[in-house]
Amino acid sequence: MKPIIGITMGDPAGIGSEIIAKALNRPEIYDKCQPVVIGDKWAMEEAIRIANVSLKVRGIERIDDASFVHGTIDVYDLKNLDIEKIPFGKVDAACGKAAGEYIEKAIYLAMDREISAMVTAPINKESFELGGYGKKYRGHTEMLAGLTNSPKSVMMLASGNLRVIHVTTHVSMRQAVDLIKKERIYNTIQKAYEACQLLGIESPRIGVCGLNPHASDGGIMGREEIEEITPAIEQARADGLNVEGPVPGDTIYPRGKAGTYDIIVAMYHDQGHIPVKLMGFLWDGQVWSSVSGVNITIGLPIIRVSVDHGTAFGKAGKGTANEVSMLDAIDYAILIAKNKNSS
């Protein structure tokens, strides 16, 4: 049976609904899965107009009511928007609140096994904060961890054959350095192995970044490699995992791209995000001509895959947003759902 993929609409003022409409305009998506949008019916109808695709929208109140037929988008309609007041391209509390409600609903549907996986369109963290969710959660990753009681879940990014998982994410650089501890690194290495298993890689080769320049050159430029990172690697090796490191951050990624590693453990947000986005994002000097890659939360009791870009307020409402990352996210969600069901 084809997996049911619940796609959250993201911030209504951004490009989420447009890239969903463009993705679901492709009949091959329905050949591989049963997609349902979790959002607002009227907002999706507006997105179809903006995207200039020939689709219809059908509002539903239960997953069982979905038809999953190409040509009509099934929308689990939360009816939480005033379509006349969506301020495309602007920070807005009502849109942030609506986006949070879509995520909540998708999590509960996934926890109840009504959907096989959730795919998330982007949110705006400032709107999310104004909408009342940011006081408790900084974004998707933290909200998913909180609502599923998964404090050790981590973020993985993927573009092509480059996969990166993070020891720390949405914290300051000062906080990130303070969080580089053996237990946290060891947990992330374990999650790297788990991520590869979900993707069908049975015996993954895991590369671990150093924190400091040149992986500290034997302690000359910091003690984290000696005192925290290497002990975590040694513990993982003792468990039987194929782990190498710490490898300097400026040399590990070309090796990962070449296939030396199946996944790389990054110590902090930008150490992981920059190389993946360099792989998947194409800027022609004026616009992003292509945006590919995905964000997967590892360590949850449910499957969550996201696009690897933001709300792109500068493009919102104009019909020019690129849906490649949304297509990638749906494909990854299908793959993981199938691998999880067969394990």
- 218-235: average pLDDT: 96
Closest CA to 166 of 271, 49, 95, 245: 271
Strand, helix or coil for residue 178: helix
Closest CA to 146 of 135, 156, 157, 159: 135
Phi first, then psi: give them for residue 121, nearest 5 degrees.
-80, 165
What per-residue confidence (pLDDT) applies to 70? 97
Q: What DSSP string runs through 51-65? A: HT---EEEEESSGGG
What per-residue confidence (pLDDT) applies to 283? 79
What per-residue confidence (pLDDT) applies to 290? 67
What per-residue confidence (pLDDT) applies to 343? 60
| Dist CA 340 CA 343 (whole Å) | 5
* pLDDT tens track for 112-151: 999 999 999 999 999 999 999 877 887 888 899 999 999 9
Closest CA to 139 of 105, 175, 96: 96
What per-residue confidence (pLDDT) applies to 30? 97
The domain ranges of the chain are: 1-150+301-343, 153-299
- With cut-offs at 50, 70 and 90, classify the pLDDT of residue 76: very high
CB 188 within 8 A of CB 164: no
What per-residue confidence (pLDDT) applies to 341? 74
The more confident residue out of 17 and 293 is 17
- With cut-offs at 50, 70 and 90, classify the pLDDT of residue 281: confident
What per-residue confidence (pLDDT) applies to 289? 65
- 321-331: average pLDDT: 93
The more confident residue out of 41 and 1 is 41
CB 111 within 8 A of CB 47: no
Q: What's the CATH code, domain 1-150+301-343?
A: 3.40.718.10
What per-residue confidence (pLDDT) applies to 35? 98
What per-residue confidence (pLDDT) applies to 170? 86
- 8-19: average pLDDT: 95
Q: Which CATH architecture has domain 153-299?
A: 3-Layer(aba) Sandwich (3.40)
Least confident of 36-45, 255-264, 305-314: 305-314
pTM for this predicted structure: 0.91
